[in-house]
């Protein structure tokens, strides 16, 4: 049996799943203290369940999102070693920073050495500003970390009061701005993450749970709780991931569909393509700052069941949430009220708000039917606009190889999975208007917790090996090192990549037989003066994305 | 916020041969530099997915001998298509300018294609020009070719077209492939002074490069009033390029791009894949996006003096004076240039370095007072090892042809089909966008 828990802004949902069946589901209000909310949810769900029956718990938490988006971070700074290229003062960095001399090039060769006096000056500057957490980021540090390491060593010796972290330890992604920001956020959330982890451990002990615990990641995979302490950023934005995976679990393996999750105030839109959630092309952004995290391509609209319907200059407009729906005692007529009026929702009696709907229709010189159509059309126009953007960016994903240009002519989805109360009614409208197939899963209200419970660990490894310089680096895991034996061809390089892949997989509690696939494998001849002097290999491997199981329950189709 | 479109197509799975300069590795470090900078996250630069050009897009420009399949690979279709993709984005107003950072290159590919010349089979810029004219009705387009090699292919394709101003600045043909691009190659009788060559002496640096731009090219562009400016952005004027002898730096290229303000730039040559390309490409991209490029300094630059000699400066000044004088005078009319004859003829020999093919050509341009006139070419390639020779005849009807020329084009086509036994005839009807090939039996 597995437990999935998703902590949302308003509710914390939990499920117990056995094989392909949901045995139990719960919903409790989310409190201010995250650890406490988890404890409450776990206690409730464990009622009548023996602790030893539980093999695994997966949590989708808002911890990182809360810390980072609300800027509850320790005070930190950045030391940047840009070398030649774009002006570093125009880069998107979230904190105070100092730019230092020094440089590494794309092959990992040092092109300029550090000036240690500059490092010392920077330390004085940071300490003067009470900044005692400093992340260090050098362009191409993943190809050669030595400049970052020299700075770290210097600061640890001379200024032990400053806590430091090198960007190459956080990620090997080819994007130094993302690595720098990743190191900064990792460093400044580390303490809060450690406290959270301790709290969880205490809770588990209290409840007699000895199973392994995983945290849901932004890319739809999971990380062991202990490992997540090193890569806390990867657990950000897991909420939409949980519901998208939940939607997948309630349908079928190769589904291609749009997933719409509509809550009271926001609507999340995601895409499932052949059973795999679409990932954001370049990665996640935190408050507009790019970070080295693969995340789902999710669009959030400030639109939901509580969105009020307003009249402005005798025009119908959608306003900002003022409270719950009128039929639930709120102040204004909302989207939910309209759905109740039309009979798409039965949370309240239509009599409660009929007069208000008719009054507003009358003010617009429309029949209630015309008025309702207009509201739904207005709503869907917004959703459709976002969908169009998502489709376009999916279709425009760059391709750097001939086979990629040739192989990605895909068709847009014609199926929609609706989650969340208001989405149900709106789905019906969409089906009528567009002729799409609309699916409303039986467990729509706890799809997020189901998604968390059924998520599997993911790992993507990109190896870059340079046999002329005898070095290699990996993206995820941020590893670099010396090639002990020269790689002669692409097959040997792939073998080597697979070895590293399995090592990192073990650290992340993946089993030996985890299914993996090749993303690309290529070798480049290094030719200098018409002589081949070495080779560069690029190998991309990843675990086959997906979920552990699909629920047996036939999803009711509209 | 103004937007810059980017199609990046390094073709990591295509090479002429494993050790050829035009191999998979060529844009690897450029990829590294651009990605590592993180500039694609800022929203100013929009990356587009490459696409394939249609066969028609290529036939609108070339007579591929004996057919398209013989002269192209999928990589060529993508390289050409990438420029078209940006052309569409530009015309749709999605972007203000764009950079097609693609391989293989194209500016040595002429109208008739018997094989690969100077690493090129089909001409990406020419295909873009004809596409934009056909699809969007554009008329006047300027192409500035900043590759170190003379853009002989582009010159050939637009030599008789007064609506396309082609300007090539390059290392003097007496010292470098392809050995052409002298000042007297100034356009056909109907397009005189619409083909401007600026052959620079070896050793020209940023100073001479920018001076020629400011004192010849910039005023020339202003008086031409193009609807669109394209840049054939070769990068082999770089001081580290292994195939040429110039002294231009990434700063020089970026500055030129900033001032030229091309609507679309298309990568051409440049084979200093480590020392030049990552930096020059970065400089051009930043300049197009209106961002600070002053930090793009090659690591080698401090070590190497790139100041041009006094002798080079004197030569450049003389070249500037020459062009300023010519361009300030009223050019002779089309009628004066045709003189007594109504058909301008030209005989020449073309060499294909990559494949060691020699081609003999006879060109005919039919005078017409109302339009560009018909273009006719008879071309023969010699037999080389493993490849038969071909004799072909091509007839080209210009896009804005008058109806008399349009009709006459089809007459010539019927005649050609009768006379060339055993060989190939091509009709390029740009007016109706119709392209015919016929093997005469
Ligand atoms: Zn060139
Ligand atoms: Zn005519």
| CATH class of the structural domain B4-328 | alpha beta
Substitution target from A282, A291, A401 for chain B, most B beta carbons within 10 A = A401
Sign of torsion over alpha carbons A242, A244, A245, A246: positive
B9 neighbourhood in chain A, CB within 8 Å = 399-400, 405
- CB–CB contact B278 A106 (8 Å): yes
Query: Over 70: is that where the pLDDT of A408 sits?
Result: no
Interface membership of A305 toward B (CB under 8 Å):
no
Q: How confident is the model at residue B300 (pLDDT cuts 50, 70, 90)?
A: confident
Averaged confidence pLDDT in chain A: 90
Bridge partner residues of A178 (DSSP): none
Chain B residue at shortest CA distance from A398? B49
Interface membership of B304 toward A (CB under 8 Å):
no
The DSSP element (H or E) to which A216 belongs, if any, is: strand A212-216
Cα end-to-end span (Å), chain B: 60
Instruction: Give me ligand 1 centre to Cα A529, in Å.
Output: 18
Query: Over 70: is that where the pLDDT of B303 sits?
Result: no
CA of B156 vs chain A CAs: smallest distance (Å): 29
DSSP helix, strand, coil percent of chain A (3-state; round to 5)? 35, 25, 35
A 10 A CB-CB count for A92 gives 17
Q: Render pLDDT for A169-226 as a digit per residue (tens, 0 to 9).
A: 888 889 999 999 999 999 999 999 999 999 999 999 999 999 999 999 999 999 899 8
**By the 8 A CB rule, do A57 and A5 touch?**
yes
What confidence score (pLDDT) does residue A558 get? Answer: 38
Q: Which pair of structure tokens corresponds to residue A152? A: 């770290």
Instruction: Give me ligand 1 centre to Cα A460, in Å.
Output: 39
- CB–CB contact B49 A107 (8 Å): no
What confidence score (pLDDT) does residue A545 get? Answer: 80
Q: Render pLDDT for A61-96 as a digit per residue (tens, 0 to 9).
A: 888 888 887 888 889 999 999 999 999 999 999 999
Ion ligand 1 — residues with CB under 5 Å? B 147, 149, 234, 236, 269
DSSP helix, strand, coil percent of chain B (3-state; round to 5)? 35, 25, 40
The catalytic residues of B are 108
Q: Concatenated DSSP letters for A436-479? A: -EEE--TTGGGHHHHHHHHB----EEEEEEETTTTEEEESTT--
**By the 8 A CB rule, do A129 and A94 touch?**
no
B278 neighbourhood in chain A, CB within 8 Å = 106
Instruction: Give me ligand 2 centre to Cα B402, in Å.
Output: 4
Bridge partner residues of A29 (DSSP): A11
CA of B347 vs chain A CAs: smallest distance (Å): 37
CA of A493 vs chain B CAs: smallest distance (Å): 17
What confidence score (pLDDT) does residue A556 get? Answer: 43
CA of B6 vs chain A CAs: smallest distance (Å): 10
Contact partners, residue B296, CB within 8 Å, separation at least 6: A84, A85, A86, B250, B251, B254, B279, B282, B283, B286
Q: Concatenated DSSP letters for A56-120? A: EEEEE--HHHHHHHTT----EEEEEE--SSS-GGGS--SSEEEE-S-EE-TTS-EEE---HHHHH
- CB–CB contact B295 A82 (8 Å): yes
Can you tell me the distance from the alpha carbon of B208 to that of B320, in angstroms, rounded to the nearest whole number? 10
Strands A299-301 and A267-273 turn out to be antiparallel
- CB–CB contact B282 A85 (8 Å): yes
For residue B66, whether the previous peptide bond is cis, meaning omega lies within 30 degrees of 0, is yes
Q: Render pLDDT for B56-113 as a digit per residue (tens, 0 to 9).
A: 999 999 999 999 999 999 999 999 999 999 999 999 999 999 999 999 999 999 999 9
Q: Which pair of structure tokens corresponds to residue A181? A: 């920001």
Substitution target from B26, B38, B271 for chain A, most A beta carbons within 10 A = B38
The DSSP element (H or E) to which A223 belongs, if any, is: strand A222-224
Substitution target from A83, A100, A105, A140 for chain B, most B beta carbons within 10 A = A105
Instruction: Give me ligand 1 centre to Cα B313, in Å.
Output: 23
- CB–CB contact A525 B24 (8 Å): yes
Interface membership of A181 toward B (CB under 8 Å):
no
| pLDDT, average across residues A36-44 | 92
- CB–CB contact B292 A105 (8 Å): no
In the β-sheet with A21-29, what is the strand arrangement from edge to edge? A21-29, A11-18, A2-7, A56-60, A212-216, A222-224
| pLDDT, average across residues A410-423 | 84
- CB–CB contact B8 A86 (8 Å): no
3-state secondary structure of B423: coil
Q: Which pair of structure tokens corresponds to residue A509? A: 């509690």
Query: Over 60: is that where the pLDDT of A409 sits?
Result: no
3-state secondary structure of A552: coil
Count of pairs with CB atoms under 8 A, one residue in A, one in B: 133
A103 neighbourhood in chain B, CB within 8 Å = 299
Query: What ipTM goes with this model?
Result: 0.93
- CB–CB contact A85 B295 (8 Å): yes
| Residue B331 burial (C-beta neighbours within 10 Å; 0-12, 13-18, 19+) | middle
Residue B261: C-alpha distances to residues A261, A442, A457, A528, B264 (Å): 45, 58, 49, 35, 9
A282 neighbourhood in chain B, CB within 8 Å = 40-41
Q: Which pair of structure tokens corresponds to residue B47? A: 């990356």
Query: Over 80: is that where the pLDDT of B385 sits?
Result: no
CA of B300 vs chain A CAs: smallest distance (Å): 9
Residue A103: φ, ψ to 5°: -170, 145
Residue A503: C-alpha distances to residues A215, A494, B319, B439 (Å): 20, 14, 65, 62
- % of residues, chain A, pLDDT over 90: 53
**By the 8 A CB rule, do B27 and B103 touch?**
yes
What confidence score (pLDDT) does residue A208 get? Answer: 93
Q: Render pLDDT for B7-47 as a digit per residue (tens, 0 to 9).
A: 999 999 899 888 888 899 999 999 999 999 999 999 999 99
Can you tell me the distance from the alpha carbon of B400 to that of B403, in angstroms, rounded to the nearest whole number? 9
Ligand nearest to the CA of B117: 1
Can you tell me the distance from the alpha carbon of B100 to that of B396, in angstroms, rounded to the nearest whole number? 28
What confidence score (pLDDT) does residue A554 get? Answer: 53
Instruction: Give me ligand 1 centre to Cα B178, in Å.
Output: 9
Query: Over 50: is that where the pLDDT of A153 sits?
Result: yes
- CB–CB contact B23 A90 (8 Å): no
Q: How confident is the model at residue A512 (pLDDT cuts 50, 70, 90)?
A: low
Contact partners, residue B118, CB within 8 Å, separation at least 6: B107, B108, B149, B152, B153, B177, B178, B269, B353, B354
Q: Which of B47, B75, B296 sits opposite A85 (nearest CB)?
A: B296
**Interface subset of A 364-423, CB within 8 angstroms of B:** 395-403, 405-406, 408
Can you tell me the distance from the alpha carbon of B52 to that of B213, in angstroms, rounded to the nearest whole number? 33
CA of A128 vs chain B CAs: smallest distance (Å): 29
Residues of chain B with CATH 3.40.800.20: 4-328
Query: Over 80: is that where the pLDDT of B384 sits?
Result: no
Interface membership of A113 toward B (CB under 8 Å):
no
Residue B425: C-alpha distances to residues A51, A191, B376, B389, B418 (Å): 83, 77, 11, 15, 10
Can you tell me the distance from the alpha carbon of A422 to that of A303, in angstroms, rounded to the nearest whole number? 11
3-state secondary structure of B351: strand
Can you tell me the distance from the alpha carbon of B327 to that of B320, in angstroms, rounded to the nearest whole number? 10
Q: Render pLDDT for A444-493 as a digit per residue (tens, 0 to 9).
A: 889 999 999 999 988 888 899 999 989 999 877 677 889 888 899 999 99
Interface membership of B279 toward A (CB under 8 Å):
yes
């Amino acid at each position: 049996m597995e437990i999935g828990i998703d902590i949302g802004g308003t509710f914390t949902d939990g499920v117990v799943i056995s094989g392909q069946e949901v045995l139990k589901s719960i919903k409790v209000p989310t409190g201010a203290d995250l650890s406490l909310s988890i404890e409450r949810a776990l206690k409730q769900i464990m009622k009548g369940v023996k602790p030893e029956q539980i093999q695994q718990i997966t949590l989708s938490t808002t911890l990182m999102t809360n810390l980072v988006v609300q800027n509850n971070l320790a005070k930190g700074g950045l030391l940047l070693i840009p070398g030649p290229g774009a002006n570093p003062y125009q880069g998107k960095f979230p904190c105070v920073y100092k730019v230092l001399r020094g440089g590494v090039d794309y092959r990992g060769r040092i092109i300029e050495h550090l000036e240690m006096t500059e490092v010392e000056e920077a330390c004085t500057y940071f300490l003067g500003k009470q900044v005692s957490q400093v992340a260090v980021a050098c362009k191409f540090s993943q190809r050669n970390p030595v400049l970052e390491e020299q700075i770290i060593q210097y600061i640890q010796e001379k200024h032990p009061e400053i806590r430091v972290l090198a960007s190459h330890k956080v990620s090997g992604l080819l994007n130094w701005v993302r690595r720098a920001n990743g190191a900064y956020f990792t460093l400044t959330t580390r303490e809060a993450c450690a406290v959270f982890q301790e709290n969880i451990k205490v809770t588990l002990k209290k409840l007699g749970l000895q199973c392994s615990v995983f945290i849901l990641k932004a890319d739809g995979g999971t990380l062991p709780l202990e490992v997540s302490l090193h890569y806390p950023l990867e657990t950000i934005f897991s909420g939409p991931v949980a519901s998208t995976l939940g939607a997948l679990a309630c349908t079928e393996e190769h589904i291609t569909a749009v997933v719409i999750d509509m809550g009271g105030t926001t609507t999340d839109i995601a895409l499932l393509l052949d059973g795999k959630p679409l990932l954001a092309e370049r990665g996640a952004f935190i408050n507009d700052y790019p970070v080295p995290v693969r995340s789902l391509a999710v669009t959030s609209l400030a639109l939901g069941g509580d969105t009020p319907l307003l009249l402005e200059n005798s025009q119908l407009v959608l306003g900002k949430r003022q409270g719950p729906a009128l039929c639930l005692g709120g102040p204004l007529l909302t989207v939910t009220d309209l759905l109740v009026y039309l009979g798409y929702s039965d949370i309240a009696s239509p009599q409660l708000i009929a007069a208000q709907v008719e009054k507003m229709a009358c003010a617009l010189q429309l029949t209630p039917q015309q008025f309702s159509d207009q509201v739904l059309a207005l709503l869907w126009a917004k959703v459709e606009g976002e969908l169009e953007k998502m489709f376009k960016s999916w279709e425009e994903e760059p391709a750097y190889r001939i086979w990629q240009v040739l192989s990605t002519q895909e068709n847009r989805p014609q199926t929609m999975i609706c989650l969340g109360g208001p989405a149900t009614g709106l789905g019906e409208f969409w089906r009528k208007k567009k002729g799409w197939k609309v699916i409303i899963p039986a467990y729509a209200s706890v799809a997020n917790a189901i998604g968390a419970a059924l998520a599997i660990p993911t790992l993507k490894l990109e190896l870059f090996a340079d046999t002329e310089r005898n070095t290699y680096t990996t993206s995820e895991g941020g590893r670099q090192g010396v090639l002990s034996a020269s790689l002669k061809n692409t097959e040997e390089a792939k073998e080597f990549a697979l070895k590293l892949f399995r090592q990192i997989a073990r650290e992340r509690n993946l089993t030996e037989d985890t299914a993996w696939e090749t993303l690309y494998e290529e070798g480049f001849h290094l030719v200098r003066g018409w002589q081949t002097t070495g080779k560069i290999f690029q190998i991309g491997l990843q675990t086959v994305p997906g979920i552990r199981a699909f629920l047996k329950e036939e999803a009711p189709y509209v | 916020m103004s937007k810059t479109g980017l199609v990046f197509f390094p073709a990591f799975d295509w090479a002429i041969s494993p050790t050829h300069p035009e191999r998979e590795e060529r844009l690897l470090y450029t990829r590294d530099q651009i990605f590592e900078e993180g500039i694609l996250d800022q929203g100013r630069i929009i990356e587009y997915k490459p696409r394939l050009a249609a066969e028609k897009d290529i036939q609108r420009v070339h007579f591929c001998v004996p057919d398209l399949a013989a002269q192209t690979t999928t990589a060529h279709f993508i390289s050409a298509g990438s420029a078209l993709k940006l052309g569409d984005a530009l015309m749709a107003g999605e972007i203000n300018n764009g950079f097609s950072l693609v391989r293989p290159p194209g500016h040595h590919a002429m109208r008739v294609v018997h094989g690969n010349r100077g690493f090129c089979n089909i001409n990406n810029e020419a295909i873009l020009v004809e596409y934009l004219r056909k699809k969007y009705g554009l008329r006047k387009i300027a192409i500035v070719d900043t590759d170190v090699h003379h853009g002989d292919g582009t010159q050939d394709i637009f030599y008789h077209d007064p609506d396309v101003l082609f300007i090539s600045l390059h290392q003097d043909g007496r010292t470098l492939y392809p050995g052409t691009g002298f000042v007297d190659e100034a356009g056909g009788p109907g397009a005189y002074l619409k083909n401007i060559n600026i052959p620079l002496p070896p050793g020209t640096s940023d100073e001479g490069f920018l001076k020629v731009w400011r004192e010849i090219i910039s005023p020339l562009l202003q008086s031409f009033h193009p609807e669109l400016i394209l840049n054939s952005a070769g990068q082999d004027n770089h001081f580290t390029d292994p195939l040429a002898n110039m002294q231009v730096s990434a700063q020089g290229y970026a500055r030129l791009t900033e001032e030229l303000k091309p609507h679309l730039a298309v990568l051409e040559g440049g084979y200093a894949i480590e020392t030049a390309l990552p930096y020059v490409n970065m400089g051009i991209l930043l300049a197009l996006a209106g961002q600070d490029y002053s930090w793009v300094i090659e690591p080698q630059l401090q070590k190497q003096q790139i100041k041009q000699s006094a002798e080079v400066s004197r030569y450049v000044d003389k070249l500037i004076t020459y062009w300023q004088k010519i361009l300030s005078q009223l050019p002779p009319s089309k009628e004066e240039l045709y003189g007594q004859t109504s058909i301008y003829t030209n005989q020449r020999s073309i060499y294909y370095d990559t494949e060691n093919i020699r081609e003999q050509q006879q060109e005919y341009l039919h005078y017409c007072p109302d339009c560009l006139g018909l273009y006719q070419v008879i071309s023969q390639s010699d037999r080389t090892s493993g490849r038969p020779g071909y004799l072909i005849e091509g007839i080209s009807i210009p896009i804005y042809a008058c109806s008399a020329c349009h009709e006459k084009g089809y007459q010539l086509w019927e005649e050609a089909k009768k006379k060339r036994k055993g060989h190939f005839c091509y009709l390029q009807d740009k007016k109706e966008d119709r392209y015919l090939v016929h093997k005469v039996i």
